[in-house]
Chain A
Amino acid sequence: MAEIFVLVDHANGQVRKTTAELLTIAARLGEPSAVFLGAGAAQAQAALAAFGANRVYVLDSPDVTGYLVAPQAEFLAALVNKLKPAALLIPATPSGKEVAARVAIKTDSGLITDAVDVQQGEGFIETTQSVFAGSYTVRAKVTKGTPIICVKPNSAAPQEKPAAAAIVPVNLTISQSAKTAQITEAKEKVASGRPELTEAAIVVAGGRGTSGDFAAVESFADSLGAAVGASRAAVDAGWYPHTSQIGQTGKQVSPQLYVAAGISGAIQHRAGMQTSKTIVAINKDAEAPIFELVDFGVVGDLFQVLPQATAAVEASKA
């Protein structure tokens, strides 16, 4: 069977959930191999083995981690040209998409981004994307070169499939021309302790209706083990960081459950959450467009509704 490459998304060897999802997809299409860039491959090995990686190609060098995307692309392109995998799967993160874009040009291959499903078609790999704020579903395929596909989080349920995950160190000298955008400083953000927004099974988001007080939203999120998001209005007002913004210009999320509190549901916001499986909204305005999307809605004050719901959720755990 042909090899399917999966670019591992990790922080110092701590493998993110999307990697297990991509390996699960890769196993449908061929023989999964992981590509690991940076330090920590040994720590990652067990997680990669559990989800079916037969081999782990590793380049551990400051040349790939100290610069923006270009060195990663150079390495992946060299690996693709040498080993000719049947496809390359990359997490659809901002950096992942940029790496993929450059590998596509370097290897003269087609690129599909933001796939929400990837399946083996008859003689080709078929992808599914959700476009125009979730109003259309598009099925597509790559027609030239090695299919390079960026896959969104939560696109597959990870399935364990024990494999060897044999570490294969690869030596490659990164060219000087790929090292022209250097990361000179990185200030780590304080971890919230909550799940990552795009990976979370449940997202609770607050908007203008919070008037800047996210305590009720956060408490409800914590009772459900959810990530916290914010509408553009809340972010523009400075109430919540931009990295938590859900919508066209922020994150696109597709959780099992999405709770919109005090969010009217403008098109920009819907572009970021419309493909969520179950949608719940709390809003004072019965005419708010968000109610057109919901499976369950409460017309009311979020400062009354959310604490009561939080208490009920906590009580159910007792």
Chain B
Amino acid sequence: MTITMNIVVCVKYVPDAQAERGFDDSDLTTNRESVEGLLSELDEYAIEEALKIAEGSEGEVTVVTVGPERAADAVKKALQMGADKGVHVSDPAIKGSDAWATSLILAHTINKIGSPDLVLTGMSSTDGSMAVVPAMLAERLGLPQITLVSELTVTEGSVQARRDGDVASETIVGTLPAVVSVTDQINEPRYPSFKGIMAAKKKPVETWSLADLGIDAGQVGAAGAYTEVIAVTKRPPRAQGEIVADDGDGGTKLAAFLAARKFI
């Protein structure tokens, strides 16, 4: 018997790490306008894992993102990879939201979608990199939190996972529904096929505002933030030090440098 697994994957649209990232001078929030953006690379692993689970079960994969108009690109990429439908939460008041507000919006969105059997996320965004939204989301939804997973097995009503820590490799067993975050060790994300790209054009994407979710604008963005940036400073580029070519004494010169800096 095949099980039914309705899966929600939360993804983020982030500034390209290869580009010059920065802040808006006016409000010290991440500049999301002048830098090319894309689906956060670490979220591709969550999408891939959802698709793999969906291939062996009944049910749908819904991809959710919160962000400006351009963030629709992140949903599009997930649909091209094979997700069934998308939800894009967009509202001018969301700009400048911290993890606290982001998890609030995601929790309301997931509740509006329905009761998924599984909520999947990546291990961290590649911009803010706090890696706390999955834990906050589990707390808000009152669901088991099984994070930083490098191997996942889903059965009717329960989930088993492997978590590789520094001191031990742990096996975690939890009940479903659950919030699960996956690392970049779990799978090899697929590239969208031509067929997938064409099919994505016909897949449904809904755009929801804060009002659609019953969230007051004052709870999110800068107004609802629980933290405040006092100042942002660009680090001066590191002054390049001495570079020597190894003419048979490179190791000796290296040791001499370390001695001069009192490391040995």
Binding site for B on A (CB under 8 A): 11, 68-70, 73, 94-95, 97-102, 104-106, 109-114, 126, 130-145, 177, 180-189, 196-197, 202, 224, 242-243, 248-249, 256-257, 267-268, 271, 274, 278-280, 282, 286, 291-301, 304-313, 316-317
Residues on the A chain within 8 Å of B198, using CB: none
Q: Counting CB contacts under 8 A, is B135 at the interface?
A: yes
Contacts A136-B23, A139-B229, A183-B170 supplied; 13 other A-B pairs, CB < 8 Å: A136-B232, A138-B233, A181-B144, A196-B166, A249-B124, A279-B238, A292-B238, A295-B257, A298-B250, A299-B245, A308-B252, A309-B251, A312-B252
Q: Report the Cα distance A312→B147, complex, angstroms.
A: 45
Residues on the B chain within 8 Å of A291, using CB: 240, 243
Residues of B216-264 contacting chain A, CB below 8 A? 225-235, 237-238, 240-246, 248-259, 261, 263-264
Q: Report the Cα distance A306→B253, complex, angstroms.
A: 11
Residues of B158-183 contacting chain A, CB below 8 A? 163-175, 178, 183
Q: Report the Cα distance A130→B233, complex, angstroms.
A: 10
Residues on the B chain within 8 Å of A95, using CB: 165
Q: Given B17, B136, B226, which contacts A102 in the complex, CB threshold below 8 Å?
A: B136
Q: Counting CB contacts under 8 A, is B213 at the interface?
A: no
A112 to chain B minimum Cβ distance, whole angstroms, is 6
Q: Given B148, B231, B242, B246, which contacts A301 in the complex, CB threshold below 8 Å?
A: B246
| Contact across chains for B178 and A181 when beta carbons are under 8 A apart | yes
Contact A188-B168, Cβ < 8 Å, known A202-B263, A224-B263, A298-B246: yes
Q: Which of these binds chain A: B57-65, B72-80, B84-92, B126-134?
A: B126-134
Contact A110-B139, Cβ < 8 Å, known A70-B145, A309-B251: no
| Contact across chains for A101 and B233 when beta carbons are under 8 A apart | no
| Contact across chains for B263 and A142 when beta carbons are under 8 A apart | no
Q: Counting CB contacts under 8 A, is B184 at the interface?
A: yes
Q: Report the Cα distance A172→B170, complex, angstroms.
A: 26
A156 to chain B minimum Cβ distance, whole angstroms, is 20
A302 to chain B minimum Cβ distance, whole angstroms, is 10
Q: Given B134, B164, B259, which contacts A243 in the complex, CB threshold below 8 Å?
A: B164
Q: Report the Cα distance A153→B250, complex, angstroms.
A: 32
Q: Given A105, A296, A311, which contacts B100 in the complex, CB threshold below 8 Å?
A: A105
Q: Counting CB contacts under 8 A, is B10 at the interface?
A: no
Q: Given B123, B142, B145, B253, which contacts A298 in the complex, CB threshold below 8 Å?
A: B253
| Contact across chains for A313 and B142 when beta carbons are under 8 A apart | no
A138 to chain B minimum Cβ distance, whole angstroms, is 5
Q: Given B18, B140, B147, B257, which contacts A68 in the complex, CB threshold below 8 Å?
A: B147
Q: Given B17, B169, B228, which contacts A271 in the complex, CB threshold below 8 Å?
A: B17
Q: Counting CB contacts under 8 A, is B21 at the interface?
A: yes
- Give 14 A-B contacts (CB < 8 Å), ordered by A residue: A95-B165, A101-B133, A102-B139, A111-B227, A143-B228, A180-B178, A181-B146, A249-B124, A294-B243, A295-B242, A295-B257, A308-B255, A313-B258, A316-B264
